[in-house]
Amino acid sequence: MAVITISREMGTGAYQVAREVAKKLKYLLVDGAKIAELAPQYGLSPEGAERVDEKPPAYITAEDRLHAAQLKTIELILLECARKGNVILYGRGGQDLLKGLGNVLRVRIVAPFDERVEKFAEREWIDPDLARELIRKNDHQRGGFIHFYFDRDWRDPLGYDLVINTSRLSAGATVDMIVAAARDGRLKEAEADANEVLDGAILCKRVEAELLRSGKVENMHFRITSSEGVVNLSGHVHSDDEKSKAVKTAAKVSGVKRVIDDLHVIGYKPYKE
């Protein structure tokens, strides 16, 4: 059956919906807790995963590159879970990470801001003004993550297959709609092609995460593509030494059979104030 991605606004009741959908379909729900559980298998601590989760990265300092490497590792976890099938990817840009795959059902759960504030304040037993501030900041952070990382407005309905307003529909009706859509035969038919694309995406993500983690490439101004275990690095680096290290690092990644080096060396002197 389909891979389901759920994008949500805070205070919409989306998490309970996701849990019920997972229960009905017997799917694995990949949320923050599941990512923290799986993280050590990928060399990422649960604390590291939480620190960077759904937060826009930067690529300036070595610490920024480590941040980016941790985000790439979270993406790798999501991609490998999607490859196994029968999963719900909860948040974390899943709909954009799996863009173009025909077996993915992309769901967006929304509700009016004031109603979200009221429900969140009641659920958490906090002051409505505090709830308003927390939800406002959360919306900016998640929306900023999608905009920075995937260059898309997360409110754009064309990025989803189902957009559900939980102020208008009950949780039960919302769950039933998602379950029915996930069982659409056209999603099943697209699985074979999707798996081939996912295999390539997973290998690229492994290489990208390792290059960032290694610290051997100062600025990643290049693209990584792969096909049947052959990885292509194209773009530019700033020295022959950096080029050699990038190719060698990529070649050592599990699953890489061969590296095609299309990197160009462009020297530069860093600008100083």
Q: Which residue has the higher pLDDT, 268 or 105?
A: 105
Show the tokens assigned to 145: 């993550």
Dihedral (CA of 197, 198, 199, 203) sign: positive
Q: Where in the chain is the domain with CATH 3.40.50.300?
A: 3-183
The predicted-structure confidence for 236-263, as pLDDT tens digits, reads as follows: 888 888 889 999 999 999 999 999 999 9
Distance of alpha carbon 137 from alpha carbon 89, whole angstroms: 22
Dihedral of alpha carbons 75, 81, 82, 87, sign: negative
Taking the CA atoms of the chain, what radius of gyration do you get in angstroms?
A: 20
Cβ neighbours of residue 246 closer than 8 Å, sequence gap 6 or more: 211, 216, 217, 222, 233, 237, 263
Split at pLDDT 50, 70, 90, the class of 212 is confident
**Domain 193-265 coded CATH 3.30.70:** no
Name the CATH architecture for the domain at 3-183: 3-Layer(aba) Sandwich (3.40)
CA–CA dist 8, 14 (Å, integer): 6
Tokens of 141: 């952070």
Backbone angles phi, psi at 8, to 5 degrees: -145, 150
Q: What are 121-180's pLDDT values in tens digits?
A: 998 899 999 999 999 999 999 998 899 889 999 999 999 999 999 999 999 999 999 999
Cα–Cα distance measured from residue 149 to residue 266, given in angstroms and rounded to the nearest whole number: 26
Whether the pLDDT of residue 5 is over 90: the answer is: yes
pTM score, whole prediction: 0.88
Residues of the chain with CATH 3.30.1340: 193-265
pLDDT, tens digit, 9 for 90 and up, residues 86-133: 999 999 999 999 998 999 999 999 999 999 999 999 988 999 999 999
Question: What is the pLDDT at residue 199?
Answer: 92
